[in-house]
Amino acid sequence: MTIISQLREEMIVPELAAKSKKEALTELAATVHGAHPEIDLDTLYEVLRTREKLGSTGIGDGIAIPHGKIKGLKEIIICFGRSAKGVHFDSHDNKPAHLFFLLLAPEESAATYLGCLAALSRFLKNPGIRSKLMHAAGRREIAEIFAETI
């Protein structure tokens, strides 16, 4: 079982309202905070913003994987958002991002954290999976796509 297959429905945003990178990060952070109120929303947003200053987490092919480490976090947390219109995310290919995976990890989990980032990248390199995610009818269907990735 992979981290992707364990993504909970409440951590899926089937249509992001965001029109900018800042709004996308804010919306995804708010989704995580809603499911994990123990995570301070301002701290979470600042971690994501600081990471983006190092270089965009928009990896191209319509994908962005904003990520960061949170002090005191007990487990890896993943959140997914989709934007049909796309959001300019300073991606390497200069194309808008449509599929967003927010990944948060405990500060002391370097190997697991990097392994999850690599697994997400491999998962999303498959054009068939990207297409399924873009065309899924809603939260439940998106969750089913993730559940198939065992």
Residues with catalytic function: 67
In eight-state DSSP terms, residue 125 is: T
Is residue 79 within 8 Å of 112, Cβ to Cβ? Answer: no
Element (H, E) at 28: helix 21-35
Inter-CA distances, 124 with 41, 46, 117, Å: 27, 26, 11
Conformational region of residue 12, where left means phi above 0, alpha means psi within -120 to 50, and beta covers everything else? beta
Strand partners, 112: none
